[in-house]
Structure 1
């Protein structure tokens, strides 16, 4: 049995937080596309959007992940839980990879430390949202509560 709560009382709040995180990714991506218009696709320059380094490819990637999170939030029914958790994992891996290559020529997404911090925070927020947004039957909720009290 999973150790994540089922039918958490604050589930609607967590779902809204997930939607706002997806909306932030979309807004950042759109502003990034506007700011990087005319630059190379993988430009490594001083382009900054909302304090984060970006280029055209990373802006497009942000839009795609934001739309995926927003679609999951709109669908609900535990689809959002899976989507939020997987997008969180991907964002954290990309953030750590960006941190590893931040001062090298391999910095293809034009990251700076602000970008890494925002990606890690967004990943942790989506992971939290995914952990507490699970919906289940009353029997599943009761089984989770009994297992929690035993531990």
Structure 2
């Protein structure tokens, strides 16, 4: 009940979520071309947009970004669900990457810059998921009443 319904800026948040998904796809495609010829989960010197990457992370980025773009295209509150869950997934991956940056377990070849950018993208997706919900007038009124009680 605390998530806004029919927020006035809902279309803007939906577009911002789509842009975050587009960034992930572009990063992944560039990472795929940059990391081609190296091992799938190798720890080479491949960098895209100043971020460390490899083929595995490029594929992950394309899949997650494509999922966000599909959710944005479909809408109907499916984008809200997809944005929130992919934001949580990206947060977990980036925190795990931060934990393993200087170890052999850094299988996505992340750098600190990669972790920072991923956390920013996940926060943008979480924000888009929280403010992008569409509902009926009754749901909006119930949200307004619950908001005013707090």
Taking structure 1 as the reference length, the TM-score comes to 0.98
* Aligned residue in 1 for 2:104: 105
State how far apart, in whole Å, the 2-side matches of 1:133 and 1:142 are. Answer: 16
Residues in 1 aligned to 2:116 and 2:30: alpha-carbon distance in whole angstroms: 19
Cα deviations across residues 76-132 of structure 1 (Å, max 9, x unaligned)?
A: 010000000000000000000000000000000000001000110000000000000
Whether contact under 8 Å (2:38, 2:44) holds in the other structure is no
4+ residue runs over 3 A deviation: none
Over aligned residues, Cα RMSD in angstroms?
A: 0.5
Structure 2 stretches lacking a partner, 5+ long: none
The reply to whether residue 44 of structure 1 matches residue 48 of structure 2 is no
Give, in whole Å, the separation in 1 of the partners of 2:37 and 2:16.
34
TM-score normalised by L of structure 2: 0.99
How far off is 1:150 after superposition? 1.1
Q: Distance in 2 between matches of 1:33 and 1:77?
A: 32
Size of the alignment, in residue pairs? 150
Aligned position for 2:74: 75
Q: Indicate the residue corresponding to 1:27 in structure 2.
A: 26
Q: CA deviation at 1:144?
A: 0.5
Residue 17 (structure 1) aligned with residue 24 (structure 2): no
Alpha-carbon distance in structure 2 between the residues aligned to 1:46 and 1:32: 12
Give 1:42 deviation, angstroms: 1.0
